[in-house]
Structure 1
Amino acid sequence: MDTDTTPLALLERAQKLFLAKDLGRFADMFAEDGTHELPFAPPGVPKFLRGREEIRRYLTSITSTPLEMTRFHGLCVHETVDPEVIIAEYEGHGRVTSTGKPYRMPYIQLLRARDGEIVTWRDYWSPLAGFQALGVRGLVRTVGGRLRRRVLA
């Protein structure tokens, strides 16, 4: 079991789980009432999720997308005056499994951790990169359609 509960250690574990598409275990990292915010989410993708189980439903709904993240590059972590909060900048590299086309996804994330759990994960990912990789219809159909079916079920 990992004993380092700093925000940076949680980010590093989350990235490993994301690369492995083990998003159920990523959801387990959230506090029971934690939040996952996606301020730049395109139509069909929620901008705000509250609670571990709602976050789990969203995260597990995206595991079957045709986007496969293969690595993260250029991690730059900014510590803040609040020891619970870090801001991370990096770029995800991967491929579209249905076409083999490579893609890059820039991220800026604010992570707040308390007692070894993620309290807030604010994810400023680029819908433009998703559009470029999948096309507008593909992104909304892939991410938004699966999510609506799972959340409303």
Structure 2
Amino acid sequence: MQTPAQLLNAYLDNIQQPAAAAALFAEDGVLELPSLGPNVRAVGPAAIAAFIGGLLKNVPDFRFHDVQLFIETADQAFGEYSVEATVLSTGKLYRQTYAGRLVARDGKITLLREALDTLAASKAFTPD
């Protein structure tokens, strides 16, 4: 059974493969980005895979790097990780550092809540 830190690293490593990343989540697992709005979330592996797939259509080189884990307990991990990739719809470079809190149960992700710099996201994803 994977630890929370192993699950977070596996998710980050598999972001280019939406089905593989989503398979790390429990059936009721949640991926949410509340800094983008209260409804920016996906529940369950199928919805999470679709969410990641949609992102990759617009940002095909989206990959995490500079992963730093700061906290790990028996059921949680917290870390920061960065992205630098071009947004196809705007042609702009998306530079972002995420802070992610992962909660796990029985070797699956039950919650991955990510915070990000909304100004950097807006600048990259909004046409001039």
Shift of 1:67: 5.4
Query: Is contact 2:84-2:93 (8 Å) kept?
Result: yes
Identity of aligned residues (%): 27
Residue 77, structure 1, aligned to residue 106, structure 2 = no
TM-score, normalised via structure 2 length: 0.81
Count of residues paired in the alignment: 128
Flag as ranges the 4+ runs of structure 1 deviating above 6 A. none
Deviation at 1:134, TM superposition (A): 2.6
Partner of 1:94: 85
Q: CA deviation at 1:100?
A: 5.9
- Is 1:6 the counterpart of 2:3? The answer is yes
* Structure 1 unmatched runs, 5+: 139-153
Distance 1:104 1:34, change over 3 A: same
Equivalent residue in structure 2 for 1:40, among 35, 38, 41? 35
Q: From the superposition, tell whether residues 65 and 46 of structure 1 become closer, same or farther in structure 2 (CA, over 3 Å).
A: farther
1:5-46 CA distance string (max 9 Å, x none): 01111111111111xx2112111110001111211115xx93
Aligned CA-pair RMSD: 2.5
**CA gap 1:130/1:51 in 2 versus in 1, 3 angstroms:** same
- Return the index of the structure with the highest Cα Rg: 1
TM-score normalized with structure 1 length:
0.70
The residue that corresponds to 1:103 in the other structure is 94
Q: Distance in 2 between matches of 1:116 and 1:130?
A: 31
Give unpaired runs (5+ residues) of structure 2.
Answer: none
Counterpart of 1:130? 121
Do the aligned partners of 1:8 and 1:86 also contact (CA within 8 Å) in 2? yes
1:29 lines up with 2:20 in the alignment: no
